[in-house]
Amino acid sequence: MLSVNNISVGYKGLLALEDVSFHVEKGEVVSLIGSNGAGKSTILKTISGLLHPEKGEILLDHHPIHETPTYNIVKKKISMIPEGRRLFGRLSVLDNLILGAYVLNSKEEIGDALENVFNIFPILKERKNQRADTFSGGEQQQLAIARGLMSRPSLLMLDEPSLGLMPRLVSEIFKVIQEISRNGVTVLLVEQNVFEALQISHRAYVLQTGRVVLEGRGDELIKSDLVRKAYLGM
């Protein structure tokens, strides 16, 4: 579904990614793991069109998208949930969700999308007229994911969805990601909570200083000496 081939991305003359390659098959949950500054978020921004590679290519269903404007990336059914949620705090839950549906073409499509996210997140339906900035951190993360689903994406990218959440809420968010996957949405996940991420991932890639240094199935990487020592404290 998605192929990232030998991309290098720089900021002000410094390379943040160097010759990074990976792929995501339809229906998979794929994780990118690594420490702060490894380049994980840069990859998502580059796929989203917020950054452009200095070399290499990104293919969606075998078609290049690495020079495509961001607003057209969303039209190609790729949606990203950014780190920090980035909600419109003064707007209601419903208004935030409607803004996520701007690429849909009819009231019927928007209605179907709303029904879908309300089934996944019932609390959003109960509190749809409440301002987003009155929600707790976990509730805001649910709203951010729901807003990303409103464009009816085929590929959903999540950047650190567990950041700042209590352990109980972290588990709930990962259960939601599994449910989204079961509903047929392909997931690309950037996450520092390595153990939880690998448990739900079909495959994962480990990044260090802008390079992929290890890849494999999620259950295999949990047992990897490199991952256990560097990220799991074992």
Q: What is the pLDDT of residues 9-46, one digit of tens each?
A: 998 778 999 999 999 999 999 999 988 888 999 999 99
How far apart are alpha carbons 209 and 211 in whole angstroms?
6
pTM, rounded to two decimals:
0.92
Q: Cα-Cα-Cα-Cα dihedral of 120, 30, 170, 226, to 10°?
A: 170
Residue 128 included in any domain: no
Give the structural domain span for 45.
1-71+188-234
Q: Residues 6 or more apart from 56 whose CB is under 8 A from it?
A: 4, 5, 6, 7, 8, 19, 20, 21, 66
Residue 92 included in any domain: no
The pLDDT of residue 232 is 67
93-137 confidence digits (pLDDT tens)? 999 999 999 899 899 999 999 999 999 999 999 999 999 999 988
**CATH classification at residue 230:** 3.40.50.300
The pLDDT of residue 233 is 61
Residue 67 included in any domain: yes
Residue 59 included in any domain: yes
Residue type (1 letter), 130: Q
- Please tell me the total count of domains within the chain: 1
Residue type (1 letter), 124: L
Residue 95 included in any domain: no
Residue 172 included in any domain: no
Residue 22 included in any domain: yes
11 versus 179: the higher-pLDDT residue is 179
Q: What is the mean pLDDT of the chain?
A: 92
Residue 160 included in any domain: no
